[in-house]
Structure formats: C-alpha cells, structure tokens
Amino acid sequence: MKLVLRSLPEAKLLESSNDPNKLPIGHLYGATSQFIFGFFEGTILNASFAIEYGLLLKLNEILTLEEKQEIAAKRNGLGLVEAIKRSNGILIDEKLAQELHIIKNLRDMSAHPSNWITLYNDINKMFLDEKTVQYWITKVTNQSSKSIAQRLGDEFDRDNALKAVKNMRSFKDERWGNLLI
C-alpha cells in the first residue's frame, strides 16, 4: 500500500488539476485512502472509477470519429463493460479483461445494495432446498450437478461449504440485521 501512495502525486495536485488524464490517478488515490480507513465499498467504487476513466481516456485516443459518433448516439454512452470489450486485445489482454469484469461486478455490488440483498436471499433459499442448489449449479456451469459431483469425487468438502455459507450469513446479519427475511 505504501508503494501505491508513494507513486501517486500529492493530493493537492490532483485536486487542483484541470487535466482529465489525472482522473484515474485521483480515483486510485481515493481508493487507497478509502482502503486505509476501512471503507471497502468506497475502495471498490474508486478503483473501478479509476479503471473506467483510464480505459475511456485511452479509448478516446484510439477510436475513430465514426466509432465515437456511434457511441454518442447510444442512450447510455460508453460504460465500463463496453470499454472493457473495446479495449480487449488492443489496450488490455484477455486475462486482464476477465479481472476487470470481476471488479465491475464488485462495483455493481457496492453501488447497488439491492444486489447484495438479492445475493443473500438467493443463497439463503438455495441452501434450504437441494433441488434449488442443483438447478443453480446447472445454470451457472452448464453442467449437471451429477457430472460435477462425479468429477469432484471426494474433493468437495460439505463441511467447509457449510462454514462458508455460515460466514456469509453472519456477514449479512451483521450488516443488515433482519432486513432480509
């Protein structure tokens, strides 16, 4: 963390700059500050803004006028998902694109609390009914739960899985109490 902080310009310079190219650095600085103080949702939001601004600024340099006009005609413009897609293979490789999608999903969870509520409700329901678990596994993996179970053999540790669910429920209860029923 100290290395990140040392590599950033002073906060005063970032705040007083009119240079849009410094937006990603400003958000990276914000993410670092948020992390230090334990505001992890803020960390995720600022880090994803740094990524999005960085990609958008770089794409602005390489996209043709026609591509920019096409984007401008869209109602929502160019968001993070589209920026990742357009950058893949040009500015970033496939591995980084996949990691950026993970950060995008974390951002969505941080920015929209309803996503967490939906996740916890789904997890609660899922582990109460084995058929729901099997359906969910099949939907996510495009494989039957039986074929996955055969492949895993004895590797799946049901006790550890139950501990993970218990930890998630504990986190949910600590965060939202009885809001989720």
pLDDT value at 159 more than 90: no
- Could you tell me which residue, 156 or 53, shows the higher pLDDT? 53
Phi, psi of 93 (to 5 degrees): -95, 175
pLDDT in tens, 163-178: 877 777 777 677 666 5
Q: Bigger pLDDT: 97 or 117? A: 97
Residue 100 has pLDDT above 60, yes or no: yes
Question: Given this model, what pLDDT does residue 102 score?
Answer: 87
For residue 48, give every residue at least 6 positions away whose Cβ sits within 8 Å of its Cβ, in sequence order, or none.
Answer: 80, 103, 104, 106, 107
Which domain-ending residue is among 111, 141, 171?
111
pLDDT of residue 25: 81
d(CA 163, CA 140): 21
**Collapsed DSSP state (helix, strand, coil) of residue 13:** helix
Domain final position from 111, 134, 158: 111
Asked if 107 and 156 sit in the same domain, the reply is no
Count the Cβ atoms, other than its own, within 10 Å of residue 37: 10
45-96 per-position pLDDT tens digit: 889 989 998 998 899 899 888 988 888 887 777 888 889 999 999 999 999 9
- pLDDT band of 15, cuts 50, 70, 90: low
75 and 135 together in one domain:
no
Phi/psi at 88 (5° precision): -60, 125
84 and 142: one domain? no
Tens digit of each residue's pLDDT (9 = 90 or more) over 124-151: 666 666 777 677 677 777 777 777 777 7
pLDDT score recorded for residue 148: 73
Range of the domain at 163: 113-179
Instruction: Specify whether the CB–CB gap between 122 and 115 falls below 8 A.
Output: no
Answer left, alpha or beta for residue 93, where phi above 0 means left and psi between -120 and 50 means alpha.
beta
Tokens of 50: 């740094």
Same domain, 118 and 101: no
| Contacting residues for 24 by C-beta, under 8 A, at least 6 apart | 49, 50, 51, 53, 54, 57
Residue 127 shares a structural domain with residue 84: no
For residues 36 and 106, membership in a common domain is answered with yes
- Residue 40 pLDDT: 82
For 88, the 3-state DSSP assignment is strand
Tokens (6 digits) for 9: 């310009």
